[in-house]
């Protein structure tokens, strides 16, 4: 049934591609704006809304609409999705619709009973999960706006890891690192900790162009030798799934010389990414609603004046360089098999991909690359 649904959605993806319409291939559903942290760079917890959580009936309607549109992957996020009182039902509804990917993006920071309930949900339904981890000690507390962040999250990561290893088929678990000027010096220790745990790492850089992000000067990175050394370290780590071309491009981007990579323009059907707010409003990378998925069909969304206005804004935008948006567009330009493999594993965590991808270079040159050594 799962593969039948995937093929049906793929047929829809091809139809949308011919019409140059977004398939909403990867959709993030924000179950709530509420959060257990108060991160310096994030404005989500401060957003005022009449409904604290997306009701389960609305989640069901959104999932059905996305399935018909051709969506292949669902990410539940927030705010902090662990706070949703019916998170179990939300995940179950997504699994029942046989999406290729169901993922939970969380902080793993909260009361023990809430975290343990979430771990049970993740493992019982067999979905992938990633958590944010930006540093240690006092620095982590300042970045995340609450006390004892690193200690709490590390403890909960170990809880999840221990329970996950007891599964016959462990789910994929990972860490998202938002690299900024303040935590740059801690990246070696972060990578070492995650490598020892056996998890995967996605590295991004601090950005503030979106309405959801706050501009903080002390977090802004500079293209200096310290950043270059951090990138070289990440390139050598077998745990880092961020494609090499994306990591190497951080410096070029910060210098203002990176090519523009916009998924909404380069790869509209397969690359466009959308965020569905708790009230059903659909937003894009820079913010601003294009309509409400609870009241408007996808056809109405992508023929609306708001959508055409976003497209005009995308054309004027200087571009960004991060895993949220640049990654899918980069597939259109980057053809290295090992980077394609990493992108697939990052986009569809927990899925097995043919070994022909991971062993490509060893058959061509006789020397396995870093990625192939880790996965073959």
Give the model's pLDDT for residue 271. 81
Give the model's pLDDT for residue 366. 41
- Mean pLDDT across 296-319: 93
Residue 353 lies in a domain: no
- Mean pLDDT across 355-372: 38
Q: Which pLDDT tens digit goes with each residue over 185-243?
A: 999 999 999 999 999 999 999 887 776 777 888 999 999 999 999 999 999 999 999 98
Give the model's pLDDT for residue 329. 66
Give the model's pLDDT for residue 198. 95
- Mean pLDDT across 232-260: 92
Q: Residue 3: is it exposed, middle or buried by C-beta count within 10 angstroms (0-12/13-18/19+)?
A: exposed
What secondary structure does DSSP assign to 279-329, as a single string? TSEEE-TT--EEEETTTS-HHHHTTSHHHHHHHHHHHHS----STTTHHHH
φ, ψ dihedrals at 222, nearest 5°:
-120, 145
Under the banding of pLDDT at 50, 70 and 90, the label for residue 367 is: very low
Residue 359 lies in a domain: no
Give the model's pLDDT for residue 288. 84
> Which of 178-192, 310-324, 362-376 tops mean pLDDT?
178-192
Residue 306 lies in a domain: yes
> Which of 11-25, 46-60, 77-91 tops mean pLDDT?
77-91
Residue 252 lies in a domain: yes
Residue 373 lies in a domain: no
Residue 369 lies in a domain: no
Give the model's pLDDT for residue 338. 65
Share of residues in the chain with pLDDT > 70 (%):
83
How many H-runs (helices) and E-runs (strands) does the chain carry? Answer: 18, 9
The span from the CA of 54 to the CA of 51, in Å, is 7
The span from the CA of 239 to the CA of 227, in Å, is 19
Residue-range definition of the domain harbouring residue 86: 2-334
Residue 168 lies in a domain: yes
Give the model's pLDDT for residue 318. 85
Contact by Cβ (8 Å): 128, 99 = no
Q: Which pLDDT tens digit goes with each residue over 102-131?
A: 999 999 999 999 999 999 999 999 999 999
Q: Which pLDDT tens digit goes with each residue over 261-301?
A: 888 888 888 888 899 999 999 999 888 899 999 999 999 99
Q: Which pLDDT tens digit goes with each residue over 325-354?
A: 777 766 666 656 666 666 566 666 655 544
- Mean pLDDT across 66-88: 95
DSSP for residue 25: -
Give the model's pLDDT for residue 290. 95
Residue 346 lies in a domain: no
DSSP for residue 45: G
CATH no. for residue 87? Answer: 3.20.20.70
What secondary structure does DSSP assign to 50-119, as a single string? S-SB--HHHHHHHHHHHHHHT--EEEEESS-GGG-TTHHHHHHHHHHTT-SEEEEEE---S-HHHHHHHH
Total domains in the chain come to 1
Give the model's pLDDT for residue 19. 84
Q: Which pLDDT tens digit goes with each residue over 7-51?
A: 888 888 888 888 888 989 889 999 999 999 988 777 666 676 777
Give the model's pLDDT for residue 361. 38
Give the model's pLDDT for residue 215. 81
Instruction: State the pTM of this model.
Output: 0.87
């Amino acid at each position: 049934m799962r593969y039948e649904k995937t093929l049906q959605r793929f047929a829809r993806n091809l139809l949308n591609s011919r019409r140059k319409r977004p398939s909403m291939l990867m959709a993030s559903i924000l179950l709530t704006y509420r959060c257990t942290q108060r991160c310096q760079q994030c404005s989500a917890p401060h957003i005022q809304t009449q409904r604290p959580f997306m009701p389960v009936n609305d989640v069901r309607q959104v999932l059905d609409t996305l399935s018909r549109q051709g969506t292949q992957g669902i990410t539940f996020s927030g705010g902090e999705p662990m706070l949703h009182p019916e998170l179990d039902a939300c995940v179950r509804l997504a699994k029942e619709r046989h999406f290729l990917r169901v993922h939970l993006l969380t902080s793993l920071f909260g009361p023990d009973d809430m975290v343990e309930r979430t771990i049970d949900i993740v493992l019982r339904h067999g979905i992938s999960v990633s958590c944010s981890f930006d540093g240690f000690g006092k620095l982590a507390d300042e970045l995340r706006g609450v006390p004892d962040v690193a200690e709490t999250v590390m403890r909960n990561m170990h809880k999840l890891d221990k329970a996950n290893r007891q599964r016959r088929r462990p789910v994929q678990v990972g860490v998202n690192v938002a690299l900024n000027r303040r935590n740059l010096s801690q990246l070696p220790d972060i990578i070492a900790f995650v490598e020892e745990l056996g998890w995967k790492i996605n590295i991004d850089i601090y950005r503030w162009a979106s309405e959801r992000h706050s501009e903080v000067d002390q977090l802004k990175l500079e293209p200096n030798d310290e950043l270059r050394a951090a990138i070289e370290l990440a390139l050598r780590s077998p745990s880092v799934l961020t494609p090499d071309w994306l990591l190497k491009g951080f410096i070029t981007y910060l210098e203002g010389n990176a090519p523009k990579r916009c998924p909404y323009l380069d790869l509209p059907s397969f690359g466009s990414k959308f965020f569905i707010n708790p009230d059903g409003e659909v937003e894009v990378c820079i913010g601003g609603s294009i309509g409400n998925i609870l009241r408007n069909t996808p056809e109405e969304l992508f023929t609306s004046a708001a959508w055409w206005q976003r497209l005009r804004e995308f054309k004027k935008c200087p571009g960004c360089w991060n895993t949220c948006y640049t990654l899918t567009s980069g597939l259109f330009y980057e053809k290295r098999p090992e980077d394609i493999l990493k992108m697939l594993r990052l986009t569809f965590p927990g899925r097995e991909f043919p070994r022909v991808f991971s062993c490509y270079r060893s058959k061509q040159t006789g020397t396995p690359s870093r990625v192939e050594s880790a996965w073959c």
